[in-house]
Amino acid sequence: MTAVTTATGFAEPTPSAALLLLGQKADLASERGVECPGALPAPDDPGLVERARAAKEALGDRVFVLGHHYQRDEVIQFADVTGDSFKLAREAAARPQAEHVVFCGVHFMAESADILTGDHQTVVLPDLAAGCSMADMAAIEQVEEAWAVLTDAGVSARTVPVTYMNSTAAIKAFTGRHGGTVCTSSNAQVALRWAFEKVGGLTGDGKVLFMPDQHLGRNTAVEQLGLTLEDCVVFDPRKPGGGLTVAELEAARMILWRGHCSVHGRFSVQNVTDVRSRVPGVNVLVHPECKNEVVAAADLVGSTEFIIRALDAAEPGSAWAIGTELNLVRRLAATHPELTVHYLDSTVCFCSTMNRIDLPHLVWTLESLVEGRVPNRIVVDPEDARWARAALDQMLALPGV
Ligand code: SF4
């Protein structure tokens, strides 16, 4: 199990995941802690930018601020480096001299940073409410039960777990314990090929248990590996036996966890049709966390880093419709005035948990560190960290990663 500690550690975990008011109480067990001991600056404080700058300057090299691509501009301006979750974890690991790593992203990313950084470093998440709905869709107890179902069905010995970076440390540890690998949206194809090779290759009867994003798993298997939609089954942890028969498990090649991203899962084929009729010649570029029918209707699919590179290399004057998180698309539109950049669906909005990290929380975090207090420290259980590290190291050992 993972553990989350705060500098003061006052709140008892609450029994339910009730919605908590910002800055009051905490639910550390469900990663929804929102307590900010001391004064959380008011959002309309006109001195926030100056306070953040002064605190960061006072900390100097002792602090390293990471900013995920989906973060707000007001936070990104203070990031020492920006990137996707994998790049940021690697950047954190490459800064052993930084005493504190402030992770402007979500909880599972800060966990990975804690796993990859040294014991002398602390990893801090400015708001513990910044979780990830996708990561929350796979609890370790559910995954252990699912493995028992696969074992009872006689298929677990021919199954390799592959977990997306967007999962808790406990799921990564499960994956490491069972000889699997972590993957990202950039290297999912390589990771799946490696996993299938372990169990007889793509044409054999071996299987991959892919967690927690069914869409990334399906898109990679079908669009990049040449498997069929019929080769994929969805394991629903809320149903007995995952909602699958032994025969279905036996016939499957990809056993997809029933999880999805609440942002990317909302894009639809209708969005693609609409933008094509509104903007002739538009290039539709979507993230692989989108549904398979959306990916199939798009022109290009790729990770956030791929999307950024594609727009950097785009022909001036070309038009693009992007299906990923809104903060990133807005920033791309602002940095590429030579292009016409559309958001694929104007009704899909920001990642709400990413947006929990705002300037007041960043100021509060940096000023706390200046005062010698370490708030919202993310600490992964050592045993989980050991096995999660094995799964992360396996990913780093994949060809071309
Ligand atoms: S965009 Fe989706 S996968 Fe990424 S943090 Fe938000 S909910 Fe999780």
Give the residue among 35, 62, 75 at the shortest CA–CA distance from 376. 35
Looking at domain 264-343, which of 3.30.70.260, 3.40.50.10800, 3.30.565.10, 2.60.40.10 is its CATH number? Answer: 3.40.50.10800
Q: Is the pLDDT of residue 164 over 70?
A: yes
The mean pLDDT of the chain is: 90
Per-residue pLDDT at 376 = 94
Per-residue pLDDT at 349 = 76
- Ligand 1 centroid vs 289 CA: distance in angstroms? 9
3-state percent breakdown (helix, strand, coil) of the chain, nearest 5: 45, 15, 40
- Ligand 1 centroid vs 168 CA: distance in angstroms? 13
Q: What is the pTM for the complete model shown? A: 0.88
Q: Whose CA is nearest to atom 8 of ligand 1?
A: 132
Place of tokens 């999880």: 259
Residues 6+ apart with CB under 8 A from 162: 175, 180, 181, 182, 183, 188, 191, 192, 195, 208, 209, 210, 211, 217
Give the residue among 164, 172, 128 at the shortest CA–CA distance from 259. 164
pLDDT tens per residue, range 277-335? 999 999 999 999 999 999 999 999 999 999 999 999 999 999 999 999 999 999 999 99
Mean pLDDT lowest for which of 26-40, 96-110, 257-271, 303-317? 26-40
Give the residue among 188, 301, 304, 165 at the shortest CA–CA distance from 254. 188
Per-residue pLDDT at 21 = 42
- Ligand 1 centroid vs 306 CA: distance in angstroms? 17
Helices 140-152 and 169-177, packing angle to 10 deg: 30
Taking the C-alpha atoms of residue 126 and residue 394, their distance in angstroms, rounded to an integer, is 30
Helices 48-59 and 359-370, packing angle to 10 deg: 40
Mean pLDDT lowest for which of 35-44, 79-88, 153-162, 351-360? 35-44
Residues having CB closer than 6 A to ligand 1 are 70, 106, 132-134, 166, 261-263, 325, 351, 353-354
Q: Are 268 and 294 in contact (CB under 8 A)?
A: yes
pLDDT tens per residue, range 372-385? 999 999 999 999 99
- Ligand 1 centroid vs 76 CA: distance in angstroms? 17
Q: Is the pLDDT of residue 39 over 90?
A: no
Averaged pLDDT for residues 252-263: 97
Nearest 5°: CA angle at 56, between 90 and 94? 15
Taking the C-alpha atoms of residue 178 and residue 198, their distance in angstroms, rounded to an integer, is 12
- Ligand 1 centroid vs 203 CA: distance in angstroms? 33
According to DSSP, the β-strands at 3-4 and 378-379 are antiparallel
Burial 277-307 (b: 16+ CB within 10 A, else e): eeeeebbbbbbbbbbbebbebbeebbbbbbb
Higher pLDDT, 14 or 113: 113
- Ligand 1 centroid vs 106 CA: distance in angstroms? 8
Per-residue pLDDT at 348 = 73
The CATH homologous superfamily for domain 136-260 is NadA-like (3.40.50.10800)
Q: Please list the residue range(s) of the chain that carry CATH number 3.40.50.10800.
A: 3-131+353-380, 136-260, 264-343
Residue 242: DSSP 8-state: G
| Atom of ligand 1 lying closest to residue 166 CA | 3
Q: Are 228 and 222 in contact (CB under 8 A)?
A: yes
Per-residue pLDDT at 13 = 32
| Atom of ligand 1 lying closest to residue 132 CA | 8
Residues 6+ apart with CB under 8 A from 177: 387, 390
Q: Is the pLDDT of residue 399 over 90?
A: no
Burial class (CB in 10 A: 0-12, 13-18, 19+), 162: buried
Q: Whose CA is nearest to atom 5 of ligand 1?
A: 132
Higher pLDDT, 1 or 194: 194
Mean pLDDT lowest for which of 22-26, 84-88, 259-263? 22-26
| Atom of ligand 1 lying closest to residue 325 CA | 1
Per-residue pLDDT at 25 = 44
Q: Is the pLDDT of residue 16 over 60?
A: no
Per-residue pLDDT at 116 = 93
Taking the C-alpha atoms of residue 187 and residue 295, their distance in angstroms, rounded to an integer, is 17
Averaged pLDDT for residues 226-251: 97
Classify domain 3-131+353-380 at the CATH topology level. Rossmann fold (3.40.50)
Q: Is the pLDDT of residue 200 over 80?
A: yes
Higher pLDDT, 309 or 20: 309
Q: Is the pLDDT of residue 8 over 80?
A: no
Per-residue pLDDT at 137 = 96
Q: Is the pLDDT of residue 6 over 80?
A: no
User: Which residues are known binding-site members for iminosuccinate?
Assistant: 68, 85, 164-166, 185, 287-289, 304
Helices 382-396 and 169-177, packing angle to 10 deg: 70
User: Which residues are known binding-site members?
Assistant: 68, 85, 132, 164-166, 185, 261, 287-289, 304, 351
What DSSP string describes 115-171? HHS-TT-EEE-S-TT---HHHHTS-HHHHHHHHHHHHHTT-GGGEEEEEESSS-HHH
